[in-house]
Amino acid sequence: MTVNLRIPGPTPIPNDILTASSKQMINHRGPEFKALIESITGKTKKAFETTKDLYILTASGTGGMEAAVVNTISPGDKVLAITVGIFGNRFVQIAKAYRADLTVLSAEYGRAIDPAEVQRVLDANPSIKAVIVTHNETSTGITNDLANISKIVKGQFGKLLLVDAISSIGSIPCPVDEWDLDIVVGGSQKGWMAPPGLSMISVSDKAWEAYEEATTPKFYFDLMPAKRYLERAQTPWTPAVGIMFALEVALDKLAAEGMDNVHERHAKIAKMCREGVKAIGLQLFADESHASNTVTAVRMPDNVNGAELLGTMRTEYDVVLAGGQAELDGKIFRIGHLGHCSESDIQNVIESLVSTFEKLGVNPAKASLA
Amino acid sequence: MTVNLRIPGPTPIPNDILTASSKQMINHRGPEFKALIESITGKTKKAFETTKDLYILTASGTGGMEAAVVNTISPGDKVLAITVGIFGNRFVQIAKAYRADLTVLSAEYGRAIDPAEVQRVLDANPSIKAVIVTHNETSTGITNDLANISKIVKGQFGKLLLVDAISSIGSIPCPVDEWDLDIVVGGSQKGWMAPPGLSMISVSDKAWEAYEEATTPKFYFDLMPAKRYLERAQTPWTPAVGIMFALEVALDKLAAEGMDNVHERHAKIAKMCREGVKAIGLQLFADESHASNTVTAVRMPDNVNGAELLGTMRTEYDVVLAGGQAELDGKIFRIGHLGHCSESDIQNVIESLVSTFEKLGVNPAKASLA
């Protein structure tokens, strides 16, 4: 039986994309690569809904987050960090590592940030230069209201806005230009259905202005060499060519489906997942009014050993789910439904959960109420 | 006809390794990944001939070079940089970007560094803390005498020694522990015959001691999270799983051949390449006593347009060579013979060069003497 890989990335990869990833190598300074990088950059820009600059970095999404910070922030710059979970905290750690002067605005795990709070903090701290925010928080299954956050950060205050959209863009609407987002970071292993190892990053004119002033030391993630080399259809450092081959086919698949349809599919499957989980007596962890369309976090029923639950799902039913991270370890489990995911994949998750709880002798409805 | 990709990486990839790179995704925090990371880390350590720590980073080799610097050097630290070409200069740029206080020892392009010069500089500058050096300089086809450089840097002076071995290790002997090298950086797309996107980095106890003192800001390339996560058979950031699948098969192939045999094969094919080039009247660019066994640099004959030469080789004969980089652009061309390369591949390069010169109406022997 095929494994039903339902973690929030890497996602399962359709066969034609996998096949593309195993094409023979080419010269990364030759004409075939020129065609490849121009194709994937253009198509990713379309999916990002941006006409601004966009670069494809050979790195995990975390590398893209680091690029967002080191290219625009100087040590001592005042930065507002909005965090609602583990990945928001990671953005905080990156900014802290590079010596930003941080104000942290956080919401309880499982809740989105209230845009009014952002307004309050920016009102009270006029010297803040930039705001960093997670669009979709993978660790808790929450999607922040980025459209309204941007209206405040950009529309009212004209600050620089750096967005970790790794687990949203390509799956959940995140129109970069319409929302006036300065830097937006994506990751190849999410809704794009490609292998992990590439991070996409869009850069607005205002972000380039910030670049000119930013004194943070950088080299590998310096976006100026990326810009210069892209002008001649290359990357400054040897790129992950195989993943780029895969990404090209993936982008064509998404374009063929139509990004609006891709977003609708994610919304529909996510809703089905939440309803399925509730129907068998489990409780959602995240505030449902801001529930993510790429990952659903579920409270671990009392008296259930998380490792046993996930282990049984995996070994008995070939369903691979994600546990909770850091302080959420053992308290939640997470179902990824981004990228290559169908209704029957989610149906299989729900049915396997029912069977697993039976096997473990647990009634989730009762356990959750305990 | 199959393309004869003869650039110094990415190298052509054998079919079984390509096939492995297209295996379906797995949970990078699950048991299959545990087996994978433990396997490839252990096998890479064997090929590095080290029992010290080794990490596999999702990045180009340049990312590994940055990791070497940011984990061991603080701003203002005195560093001796040995450079004999473009990649040596890149190591200089990285150290400079992170504010090291640099002394640069360079050799003319096409020449190796004289270890006696290293001794002289270290004698004259007792406050130097670390030495950074390129083992094999891809841009000029030179292999530095790292064994004797290390005898001086480590044996006589006890300095920290950071080595860019990206285009050597796995192809040219570089026994990490025997030579007492503190940090050694490799890259998956070189002799390892895997796709680009992973950098391997070995770390000695002395390098970890330097880590404790190093104040350079870092996050993505911080080796401490890599160490902590490897203890539970994970990586801190989502790794390039597909390339790791490929690397595992590649490492098994190298082990089956035996690393000594791999090194001998590279030496034999490189010699054949140099002799073939000279036999048709071309001149080697690099000092032959330090000629690289992974890449041969050839002087561009006078009156030959480099772009036309490489273009004809590619379009007429399906042989892809590399040009010169930066100031060597148009002055040399380079033949890669690392990784998946046979004598017949090199024979094909030489024959195609002969045919191309005929087509261009050039007698390379006469042109080279002009």
Average pLDDT by stretches of 10, chain B with 370 residues? 92 97 97 98 98 98 98 98 98 98 98 98 98 98 98 98 98 98 98 98 98 98 98 98 98 98 98 98 97 98 94 97 96 98 97 97 72
Task: Write out chain A residues lying below 8 Å of B60, CB-based.
Answer: 58, 220, 237-240
The C-alpha atoms of residue B33 and residue B49 are separated, in whole angstroms, by: 24
Which B-chain residues 17-56 have CB contacts (< 8 A) with chain A? 18-19, 21-30
Confidence class for position A263, pLDDT limits 50, 70, 90: very high
For chain B, which domains are there? 4-9+259-369 (3.90.1150.10), 15-256 (3.40.640.10)
Confidence class for position A367, pLDDT limits 50, 70, 90: low
Quick one: pLDDT at residue A163?
99
Quick one: pLDDT at residue A149?
98
| Residues above pLDDT 70, as percent of chain B | 99
CA-based nearest residue in chain A for residue B21: A22
Pairing of strands B142-143, B136-137: antiparallel
Quick one: pLDDT at residue B201?
99
Helix (H) or strand (E) holding A198: strand A198-203
Pairing of strands B322-323, B53-58: unpaired
CB of A63 within 8 Å of a chain B CB? The answer is yes
State the average pLDDT over residues A237-253: 98
* Cβ atoms A119, A156 nearer than 8 A: yes
State the average pLDDT over residues A340-347: 97
* Binary contact (A60, B58; C-beta < 8 A): yes
| Residues above pLDDT 90, as percent of chain B | 96
Query: Hey, CA dihedral for B306, A29, B312, B332, is it positive or negative?
Result: positive
Quick one: pLDDT at residue B367?
65
Task: Write out chain A residues lying below 8 Å of B323, CB-based.
Answer: 29
* Binary contact (B238, A195; C-beta < 8 A): no
Quick one: pLDDT at residue A370?
43
pLDDT of A202 over the 50 cut? yes
For residue A60, give the nearest of B27, B217, B238 by CB distance. B238
Q: In sequence order, what are the beta bridge partners of B295?
A: B336
Query: Six-digit token pair at A211?
Result: 């670049």
Q: What is the pLDDT of residues B282-316, one digit of tens each?
A: 999 999 999 999 999 999 998 899 999 999 999 99
Q: What is the largest CA-CA distance in chain B?
A: 64
CB of A322 within 8 Å of a chain B CB? The answer is yes
Quick one: pLDDT at residue B368?
57
Distances (CA, A) of A126 to A121, A151, A207, B234: 9, 16, 19, 42
Q: What is the pLDDT of residues B130-177, one digit of tens each?
A: 999 999 999 999 999 999 999 999 999 999 999 999 999 999 999 999
Which A-chain residues 198-257 have CB contacts (< 8 A) with chain B? 216-222, 236-243, 246
- CA B251-B270-B186 angle, 5° bins: 35
Quick one: pLDDT at residue A98?
98
The C-alpha atoms of residue B41 and residue A186 are separated, in whole angstroms, by: 28
Quick one: pLDDT at residue B303?
87
Residue B116: how many other CB atoms lie within 10 Å = 10
Query: Six-digit token pair at B318?
Result: 């399906």
CB of A189 within 8 Å of a chain B CB? The answer is yes
Look up tokens 């492995």; give the residue: B20
